[in-house]
Homo-oligomer: A and B are copies of this chain.
């Protein structure tokens, strides 16, 4: 059992008479993750509507606010009960047996143009033994063939750009890995989280994009950029790619500050709540 305390502060200056915001910053409630406590504070105290999407468990907040400053503070304590499976036991599921709800994660999406990577994926990974080992090999390929470089890409960068330029940040690693998986008919999606365990020399704590792949009846989590300790990754939202899960979608002329984030593991040996540790096992999110 893992317990994380997570804080995010967002701060905006609205320059139009008013602006609309869609936030996706709250910890999801899933079979493996529960929210022990949370507080959400808006300054000024404008009304906020929350909606949980039934398929993804994404918790969207909608805010309409007038000209001037808007600050959001969200703090939560979250418990994660990962199930760790043996990678060797996990198989790729044939299209004929995939749940229909999973099929959309085979299609190409805005930042994961898998339809253009079929030949590449087949040549690099087509003859590998299928299952978790192949998925892990894709993750290793991304790590070994790309350079992690902060600020080298932007929010319009897609997997094709990354396959060519071989440089990017966590979200670019995730998009490329997802596109390759889908090109091999392995359902894959993006998951937004926090970079628990990242080397402090890389900068302040931040949001973090990772990958989930569907194997043997459920979704498994991988971090192709390798900056975090995967067992310490809590789920905020999942989607086809980054277009589905921006932490803030803003409608109107608004100046944004960089998000301020804290994340820490809370341990309690009596309760069996431990530090997130590295593992060679496959991390289930179902």
Contacts and interface: CB of A to CB of B under 8 A. Distances in A.
Nearest to A55: B55
A108 B110 contact: yes
B243 A123 contact: no
A262 interface: no
Summarize A's interface: helix, strand, loop or mixed: mixed
Counted per complex, copies of this chain come to: 4
13 contacts: A53-B100, A62-B96, A62-B100, A64-B96, A107-B244, A107-B249, A110-B110, A113-B156, A115-B156, A116-B165, A117-B164, A123-B166, A164-B164
Nearest to A119: B166
Interface in A255-284: none
A160 interface: yes
A167 interface: yes
B51 A243 contact: no
Contact of A110 (B94, B109, B146): B109
Nearest to A53: B100
Interface string A155-177: 11000100111110000000000
A22 interface: yes
Nearest to A147: B119
A145 interface: yes
Contact of A243 (B95, B108, B146, B165): B108
Nearest to A106: B249
A110 to B, nearest CB: 5
A251 interface: yes
Given A119-B166, A120-B164, 10 more contacts: A60-B103, A64-B96, A110-B115, A116-B164, A116-B165, A117-B164, A119-B146, A119-B167, A123-B145, A123-B166
Most buried by B among A51, A94, A119: A119
Contacts of A140: none
A115 B53 contact: no
Contact of A160 (B20, B164, B185): B164
A104 interface: yes
Contacts of A249: 106-107
A96 B106 CA distance: 31
Contacts of A62: 95-96, 100
A22 B187 CA distance: 15
Contacts of A115: 110, 155-156, 243
